[in-house]
Amino acid sequence: MQADFLQLIATSTLIIESSIIIILLIGWLWGARRLDFRTHHWAVYSTVLVNSILVGFWMIPQAISLAAGGYFNDPIASMHQIVHDTIGLVTVALSIVVALMFLVRRDMPLKLLKRTRPVMILVLALWLITFTLGIVAYTTFW
């Protein structure tokens, strides 16, 4: 019974994370590329919020549960999960920092945009790596 519930949460998380790709594409293609920063910010803020909630309420407790069960005792066998968790935490932290910077500075000075754009690209690349490793983790456990 509990395994079914956990699988339901994991599957729901995978679906939500997959939806985030679509939302980020909308924010990039119809937002940032067309200089419609309202659309871009809507997409980014919503995905940062949803992703932070998922990480805080599902992924971190799941990692703690795996660690308590001895899953990480063999670091070589669980390397994909260790890398997924580490890169994922860095990605969430960076995305929160960037989102907060733009929430505080609503006027979006050009200097801030130029300085944060490489960080935004880095966050997106790290998120895609984490997402891919998350799919590996999902297929491994469920």
Q: 100-109, pLDDT tens digit by residue?
A: 888 887 666 6
- Is residue 84 within 8 A of residue 134, CB to CB? The reply is yes
What confidence score (pLDDT) does residue 109 get? 67
In the numeric block, the tokens 């932290």 are attached to: 93
- Please give the average per-residue pLDDT across 118-124, as a whole number: 90
In the numeric block, the tokens 């293609």 are attached to: 29
| Separation of alpha carbons 92 and 129, rounded Å | 13
pLDDT tens digit sequence for 11-56: 998 999 999 989 988 988 888 888 888 888 889 999 999 999 999 9
What confidence score (pLDDT) does residue 18 get? 92
- Please give the average per-residue pLDDT across 107-129, as a whole number: 83
What confidence score (pLDDT) does residue 90 get? 95
Q: What is the pTM for the complete model shown?
A: 0.81
Q: Which two tokens stand for residue 78?
A: 């669980």
Provide the mean pLDDT of the chain. Answer: 87
In the numeric block, the tokens 């891919």 are attached to: 132
Query: Burial level of 109, CB count in 10 A (0-12/13-18/19+)?
Result: exposed
